Amino acid sequence: MILAILLTQWFGSVASVSPAQAGEKPDILFIAVDDLNDWVGHLGGHPQSKTPNIDRLVARGMSFRNAHCAAPACNPSRAALMSGMRPWETGIYTNGDPAQDVLKDVVTINRHFLANGYRTLGAGKIYHNFAAEGRKDGWTEWKGLFPSPRERDTNLTGMNKGHFDWGPLDAKLEEMGDYKLTDWAVNQLQTAPLEQPLFLAVGYVKPHLPWYVPREYFDRFPLSTIQIPSVLESDLSDVPSAGVKMATQGGDHAAVLKADQWKKGVQAYLATISFLDDQVGRLLDGLENSPRKNKTIVVWWTDHGWHLGEKQHWRKFSLWEESTRTSFAIAAPGVTNASARCDAPVDYTNLYPTLCELAGLEVPGHVKGLSLVNLLKDPNSDWDSIAVCSHGRGNHSARDSRYRYIRYADGSEELYDHANDPNEWTNIANDPSKRGIKAKLEQAFPTSETEALPTGDGKSNGRSRNRAANRDE
């Protein structure tokens, strides 16, 4: 198996590496967030979003304003980021693909840092499969999820679509899982042994569905003031059938309109983001009051974006800007400047080699992404790479500083010019003058792709687009 070969090659070379002394290695606070799009102050995705603490975190270092996930779903996005390998290399394309089996022999980020002397602590949601977190070869200690109050017995929105639901929760802040997670993380920052470098992974679950947070957060966003996203009613008219199928599968938007829940959904998402922001503030305060504050690299990443009605679509699971764009920042003492911004197109295969370079570790042989360290030092450094996002075998999106090019498995295409069309309302893929642009962008797509591995029922997902393959867990 190719992954086993890569592992053997890596272990064959690692013996000659002389790791830096523990005192020379930086600590790393590794913050992952589930289902948060660009509705944060530093990206300006929604005018009513209130994220002062997230913005405070990002202002510590470099904000990558044109950052994208490797896949617009939790499982493949996190698998790609943590392994440094793209979906077409691993076969992990959807939420239903067996990432735990595929990655069992791969030197992931946390395993690499553990092998190089780090105390690796993790809790919350880092990978998609919660049960896979506790492997002894990956963490010094894995805490797991912190439970929130039990989800409601009845659907609040009237749509009866499982946890695609939202509304205020009559619960104390201290009962929320992400609140407990923050308490745990702050305690680790303050009490973990200083003589050993720390890799602390904190995986926030919110704003993942259902959008149930204490009522006080809903009160911050009165329903009468809520602004829904800017949309074009005919937006799907120039989208090929493969893209339309991605957008309309499951009928979420039709259900939202029928139940008159669009404004309430936006309100609930903003409220849940505000709850998350408060926890980020508490975590930052804990870092700044800890003995590690001056030598800790802070990494902030969201696993993908989220639609709230744009292109008649909700959730992620698409190759458009709303699904692929993420909030991503790195603050590295002695490397980054405060409030720095970078507009170069980057994706999450760049993170693994970046962390290795910052920590003085060798990059494992299977990791092919480019390090971002030069951009961290100077956001205007030369950068010719293109951000690529994949959703299902054969479906890919390429994003450079100006254009987004999508090619589906059936060969159909979309092309958007963000300089003139930031909402991606006009598909110009059939414009003869854009052939050169498409040809350049498609060079970032794979020439061959791994088949999706069988799921637990023995069936291959392949190019599956069914709801089961992308279940929102």
Count CB-CB contacts under 10 A for residue 175: 14
323 domain-assigned: yes
Query: Does pLDDT of 468 surpass 70?
Result: no
CA 362 → CA 48, 89, 121, 146, 155, distances in Å?
Answer: 43, 21, 21, 34, 50
User: What contacts 178, CB < 8 A, 6 or more positions away?
Assistant: 124, 146, 148, 204, 205, 206, 275, 276, 279
| Cis amide leading into 87 (omega within 30) | no
Strand runs (DSSP E) across 46-174, as ranges? 62-64, 67-68, 119-124, 141-144, 166-169
Read off the pLDDT of residues 263-284 as tens digits, 9 standing for 90 and up.
Answer: 999 999 999 999 999 999 999 9
Instruction: Give the domain CATH number at 309.
Output: 3.40.720.10
pLDDT band at 207 (very low <50, low <70, confident <90, very high): very high
Specify the pLDDT at position 70: 98
376 domain-assigned: yes
Query: Annotated active-site positions, please?
Result: 74, 128
Average pLDDT over the chain reads 91
pLDDT band at 458 (very low <50, low <70, confident <90, very high): very low
Query: Does pLDDT of 250 surpass 80?
Result: yes
Asked which of 125-129, 254-258, 268-272, 451-455 is least confident by mean pLDDT, the reply is 451-455
Read off the pLDDT of residues 140-168 as tens digits, 9 standing for 90 and up.
Answer: 999 988 998 876 677 899 999 999 999 99
139 domain-assigned: yes
Please state the φ and ψ torsions of residue 400, each to the nearest 5 degrees.
-110, -160
127 within 8 A of 111, measured Cβ to Cβ: no
Specify the pLDDT at position 136: 72
Specify the pLDDT at position 154: 78
Give the pLDDT mean for 425-444. 98
389 domain-assigned: no
Query: Does pLDDT of 169 surpass 70?
Result: yes
Query: Does pLDDT of 14 surpass 60?
Result: no
How many domains is the chain built from? 1
Specify the pLDDT at position 455: 58
Specify the pLDDT at position 20: 36
Specify the pLDDT at position 449: 97
Please state the φ and ψ torsions of residue 169, each to the nearest 5 degrees.
-110, 130
Query: Does pLDDT of 453 surpass 80?
Result: no
Specify the pLDDT at position 452: 77
310 domain-assigned: yes
282 domain-assigned: yes
- Which has the higher per-residue pLDDT, 343 or 460? 343
pLDDT band at 21 (very low <50, low <70, confident <90, very high): very low
181 domain-assigned: yes
Query: Does pLDDT of 4 surpass 80?
Result: no
Give the pLDDT mean for 323-333. 98
Q: Structural domain of residue 220, as residue ranges?
A: 25-241+251-380
100 domain-assigned: yes
Read off the pLDDT of residues 54-93 as tens digits, 9 standing for 90 and up.
Answer: 999 999 999 999 999 999 999 999 999 999 999 999 999 9
